[in-house]
Amino acid sequence: MQANPLPLICAYENRPECEDGVRVLVASLKKAIPHARLRLYHNPAREDFADWIARYPGVDWRPAQLPASTSWNVKPEILTAAFDDGYEDVIWLDADLLVARDFSDFLAQCPNDALIATEEASWGAWDDSHHRRTRGWLLEPGRQLPFTVNSCFLRVTSHHRGLIEAWQELLSRPEYKAAQAAEWHTRPAHMMGDQDVLTALLGSREFADIDVRFLRRGRHILQLFGPLGFTLNERLQVARAGLPLIIHAQGTKPWKPPAPDGSRRWYGRLFDIYQDTSAYIMFVEKHLAEETRFAWLAPRSSAGALLRKLGLGSISLAGAPIAAIFDAVWQPRRLLRRLRLRG
């Protein structure tokens, strides 16, 4: 088959209740990169989705072709299908992120054969010291990655097909499937999710020659996960350099309602206010309101509405007071944990 020189962007979402995220992804991508080609696997929840998606040229919507795999473990299968269709350069975007700026220049600055991924969130399983994930899969270590790979954004080429096939093979193993069926906090680090498996492979000797480049937190991407999802340091970076390329609603999904008030402790109540100033929500409200009119864009609390007003529409300033509290409480704990792991 003749190779297609243009990159193909792929996305997948099999949860109808997360359709709002799909719409944000599509609208933001086509606004930031109008010429982008998107292959979207999604079975919609609402009847108007077909008419809505038809407004965006260059989107190949495949509602009846969802792979048998579930959740995030579908990535290597979809990437391989793109290679089989003749695409040499393929980009993966998770359906819970939005494209704030055109990332084409960043990709052009990377070598043509480089694999591009993202740095894991600070609140996530960030540390991969001592080849934890590579050794967990009984693979021979080849290099030490600076942190766990986050696979919300991936750029791969046909040069990486062997890696993608090895990724698919490990995700298909019975022991991995059994781990995925268990509660997340009981899973071993190397089987927590698909990105932990990818981290293991990229740290192995077999694939140590692959050039890996990263979207860095704060500078290129916001990983909105937990109380350290948008730290004061990251806010300063955004204030100085402008919006990052990607905003990722990695943890709490803005379109989902919070837990009942009766079950919330002080942190939960404070986090709900923090969520009202989410960079994801504020970007959508400011830049995509015409394309995506959702009730969850409005603040759910008076305190959240006040913080937005005090922030004067700035994504960096809104929520900064709560970010300062969270940084003071949890940054030292995360640092100590990383030091213990590395020791």
For residue range 115-160, what is the model confidence (pLDDT) as tens digits? 999 999 998 889 998 899 999 999 999 999 999 999 999 999 999 9
**pLDDT for the residue 70:** 64
Domains in the chain: ranges and CATH:
1-99 (3.90.550.10), 251-341 (no CATH)
Does this model's pTM top 0.85? My answer is yes
**pLDDT for the residue 268:** 85
**pLDDT for the residue 1:** 46
The full 3-state SS of the chain, as one line of letters, equals CCCECCCEEEEEECCHHHHHHHHHHHHHHHHHCCCCCEEEEECCCCCCHHHHHCCCCCEEECCCCCCCCCHHHHHHHHHHHHHHCCECEEEEECCCEEECCCCHHHHHCCCCCCEEEEECCCCCCCCCHHHHHHHHCCCCECCCCCCCEEEEEEEEEHHHHHHHHHHHHHHCCHHHHHHHHCCHHHCCHHHCCHHHHHHHHHCECCCCCCCEEEECECCCEEECCHHHCCCHHHHHHHHHHCCCCEEECCCCCCCCCCCCHHHCCHHHHHHHHHHHCCHHHHHHHHHCCCCCCCHHHCCCCHHHHHHHHHCCCCCCCCCHHHHHHHHHHHHHHHHHHHHHHHC
In which residue ranges of the chain is pLDDT below 70? 1-5, 68-70, 259-264, 341-343
**pLDDT for the residue 46:** 92
